[in-house]
């Protein structure tokens, strides 16, 4: 599976969840929370333990999402109402 496919599988935007912030699909955990956890030194295993049911693939999707934003791209669309 490509990085884009992983991101699209695990990252979603729903205006009814976390005020439309990108989140891990099936959770209310925003992408930025996972990125902050990584930035503070948490490992993927620690994140999986702290933010269940988030998977390693979902964490990698957050990293890829951040890379796209750093490149000024955004590929996640809103979930239809």
Cα–Cα–Cα angle for 70, 27, 74, rounded to 5 degrees: 25
The structural domain count of the chain equals 1
Give, as one character, the DSSP assignment of residue 76: -
Q: How many C-beta atoms lie closer than 10 Å to residue 12's C-beta?
A: 18
Residue 79 within any structural domain of the chain: no
**Is the model's pLDDT at 3 over the cut of 80?**
no
Q: Where residue 78 falls among pLDDT bands split at 50, 70, 90?
A: low
Domain that holds residue 7: 3-70
Residue 20 within any structural domain of the chain: yes
Whole-angstrom distance, CA of residue 1 vs CA of residue 36: 25
pTM above 0.85, yes or no: no
How many C-alpha atoms does 39 have within 13 Å on its Cβ side? 9
């Amino acid at each position: 599976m490509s990085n884009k496919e992983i991101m699209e599988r695990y990252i979603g935007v729903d205006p009814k969840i976390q005020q439309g912030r990108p989140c891990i699909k099936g959770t209310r955990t925003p992408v930025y929370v996972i990125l902050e956890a990584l930035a503070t030194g948490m490992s993927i295993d620690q994140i999986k333990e702290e933010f269940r049911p988030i998977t390693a693939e979902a964490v990698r999707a957050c990293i890829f999402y951040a890379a796209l934003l750093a490149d000024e791209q955004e590929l996640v669309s809103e979930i239809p109402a």
